[in-house]
Chain A
Amino acid sequence: MEKFIELFAEQFDDIDIATLNAQTRFRELQGWTSLVALLVITMVDEEYGVVLPPEEMRKTQTIQELYNLVQSKL
């Protein structure tokens, strides 16, 4: 999970990783944009070999939920 948060944070232009945890509702983050969303999808594909289905990704709100979704596809 720690590694996932690290990778997740890397997709933002400018974010303090210390402000993120599993319960963070990432869609409410100031730096969350459609571009970051695409970068996250790409990161998950490259790092985990998982292609996130958009409709399932849309339902996730917290980093934990996103992480769980990735895990369920491994």
Chain B
Amino acid sequence: MYNPFALIGKTILVTGASSGIGKACAIECSKMGARVVITGRNEERLLSTFEQLEGQGHASISADICQQNDIEQITATTEELDGVVFAAGVSKLKPIMALNEMDLQTVFSTNYFAQALLTKSLLKAKKIRQGASLVYISSISGNGNTATGLSVYGSSKSALTSYVRYAALELSGKQIRCNTILPGRINTDLLQNSTMSDEQIQKDMERYPLKRYGEPEEVAQTAVFLLSDAAKWITGTEIKIDGGRTLV
């Protein structure tokens, strides 16, 4: 059957695969025929993702991408890649007045530094094939949407989005495509662990023209598109997937 969106024959690395969007990306990629290499911090939950992958030949690497040693381990262990989904990320809800250096370091370390350092490490070791697709999960926060208490999260995500445009330009010579996905609020642990009350969440949901939060699978399917040959001429762009949130 004709299907330019399929990932058959491709090997895809997914970071942050132990939960949320990363987990969904790993599972969707496997359903589309890819061999998936998953990585994440929580070994137990990583195993749960691994067990849900369809097809054969997948691999799992328990690692914390904020540690340089672990980045090196991922780089050394993984085979050559046709795509990477950078889904590892952390959130923080804290007003400007309450921020401390640790908050900044924690959020930027995962949401920005680790992404850039893993990208570099994989490239340097020639683990990213010519024609590969790199997909970074950013956020509408800091990229069109501004909300109280999310200054560090939002600014780390706009830094990431900006980084990806530079990567798209610099890696174009190798025919490597780099794109960003900007999700609105998605039903994941990241949301459940946030300090918002149920009532606040309900009220916030009302601000979405489509009147609900997104599902991880919906973001994953956008990632599948960007990884696939259907997106072969797309690089350096951002795809918003936010139920219309940034319209209002």
Binding site for B on A (CB under 8 A): 13-14, 31, 33, 35
Q: Which residues of A contact B130 (CB under 8 A)?
A: 14
Which DSSP category, helix, strand, loop or mixed, fits chain B's interface?
Answer: helix
- The A contact surface, by secondary structure, is loop
Most chain A beta carbons < 10 A, residue from B130, B173, B174? B173
Chain B neighbourhood of A13, CB < 8 A: 173-174
**B170 interface contact, C-beta 8 A:** yes
For A14, list chain B residues within 8 Å (CB). 130, 173-174
Over the window 156-187 of chain B, the binary record of Cβ atoms lying under 8 Å from chain A Cβ atoms (1 yes, 0 no) is 00000000000000100110000000000000
* Smallest beta-carbon distance A46→chain B, Å: 11
A and B contact pairs by CB, cutoff 8 A, 9 listed:
A13-B173, A13-B174, A14-B130, A14-B173, A14-B174, A31-B173, A33-B173, A35-B170, A35-B173
A-B pairs, 5 with minimum CB distance: A13-B173, A13-B174, A35-B170, A35-B173, A33-B173
A42 to chain B: closest CB distance in Å? 11
Give the docked Cα–Cα distance between A39 and B146 (Å): 37
Taking CB as reference atom, which chain A residue is nearest B176? A13
Q: How far is the CA of A62 from the CA of B170 in the complex (A)?
A: 25
Q: Give a binary string over B98-134; 1 marks a CB under 8 Å from any A CB, 0 the rest.
A: 0000000000000000000000000000000010000
Instruction: Please give, as numbers and ranges, the residues of chain A lying within 8 Å of B174 by CB-CB distance.
Output: 13-14
Chain A residues with CB under 8 A of B173: 13-14, 31, 33, 35
The residues of B that contact A33 with a CB separation of less than 8 Å are 173
CA distance A13 to B171 in the complex (A): 9
Once bound together, how far apart are the Cα atoms of A43 and B173, in whole Å? 18
In the complex the two chains form, what is the Cα distance from A14 to B176 in whole Å? 13
Bound CA span A60–B174, Å:
26
- Which B residues touch A35, using CB under 8 A? 170, 173
Inter-chain CA distance A14–B173, complex, in Å, is 8
**Which A residues touch B170, using CB under 8 A?**
35
- Could you mark each residue 10-40 of chain B with 1 if its beta carbon is under 8 Å from any beta carbon of chain A, else 0? 0000000000000000000000000000000
Complex alpha-carbon distance, A33 and B173, angstroms: 10
The CA-CA distance from A13 to B174 in the complex, in Å, is 6
New contact pairs (6) apart from A14-B130, A31-B173, A35-B173, CB-CB < 8 Å: A13-B173, A13-B174, A14-B173, A14-B174, A33-B173, A35-B170
Residue of A nearest to B175 (CB): A13
Cα A35 to Cα B174 with chains together (Å): 12
Tell me the smallest distance from the CB of B208 to a CB of chain A, in Å: 41
Interface centre among A13, A31, A33 (most CB of B within 10 A): A13
Nearest opposing residue in chain A for B174, CB measure: A13
